[in-house]
Amino acid sequence: MSVATPYFDQLFAGNDDPWAFRQRWYEQRKRAVTLAVLTRPHYVSILEPGCANGELSAELASRCDRLVCCDASQAAVLLAQTRLAAFSHAQVEQRRLPGQWPAGQFELIVLSELCYYLDADDLHHLIDCALAALTADGQLLACHWRPPIEGCPQTAEQVHALLQQRLGVPPLAQYHDQDFLLDLWSRDGTSVAHHEGLR
């Protein structure tokens, strides 16, 4: 069974940063690596499911023309809306995924610390939704904490193995260490150097 919404509501009860995104070097470093792995300086549209309080969202907002963020927790949505108030092209919506997947096509979908909360059926459904929502040259980035999390039905390794299987193309970029896995898949497979005519 996927982790239920009340779990996340409880995390945000009286705490605007339950994972210490702003304080912990692990989180700051992970955001920096996530942004560095992206092979395009700018995207037309980005979707970030499970945006929490919007710390990564604010970084993504500066890299796109349109940003759609969503979270199951109402408290998280309100925090993210405040964090993104300066970005008129960003919208934050309360949605429980995969069942309430937003409409539209996206050049980049960012699945950060989200998928291991889903059971196998919901994870397959979410990947179906993501594949249908990616543009013809779209990219999907996944980043997940490696150690087991009590109560989570998936591990980072299981999530990334399934994404690799379903996407069917090798990662365009990846970074793996003892703490987290980060993979970027791209439908067009174009490297930075190739895109800039250097290869």
Q: What is the spatial distance between Cα 9 and Cα 66, in angstroms, rounded to a whole number?
A: 27
In the chain, % of residues over pLDDT 70 = 96
| Per-residue model confidence (pLDDT) at position 18 | 65
Burial class (CB in 10 A: 0-12, 13-18, 19+), 96: middle
**CATH label of the domain that carries residue 168:** 3.40.50.150
pLDDT digits (tens, 9 = 90+) for 11-26: 667 777 766 678 899 9
CA distance to 1, 94, 165, per residue, from 110 (Å): 23, 17, 18
Residue 198 has pLDDT above 90, yes or no: no
- pLDDT classification of 197: cutoffs 50, 70, 90: confident
| Per-residue model confidence (pLDDT) at position 129 | 97
| Per-residue model confidence (pLDDT) at position 3 | 77
Q: 10 Å Cβ neighbour count for 42?
A: 10
Boundaries of domain holding 145: 5-195
Say which range, 8-17, 62-71, 107-116, 121-130, has the weakest mean pLDDT.
8-17
| Per-residue model confidence (pLDDT) at position 12 | 63
pLDDT digits (tens, 9 = 90+) for 28-65: 999 999 999 999 999 999 999 999 999 999 999 999 99
Residue 9 has pLDDT above 70, yes or no: no
- pLDDT classification of 68: cutoffs 50, 70, 90: very high
Report the sign of the C-alpha dihedral through residues 90, 159, 145, 8, in that order: positive
| Residue given tokens 């979270």 in the structure block | 71
Q: Phi/psi of residue 4, each to 5°?
A: -80, 155
Number of domains forming the structure of the chain: 1
Q: If phi over 0 gives left and psi between -120 and 50 gives alpha, with beta otherwise, what is residue 7?
A: alpha
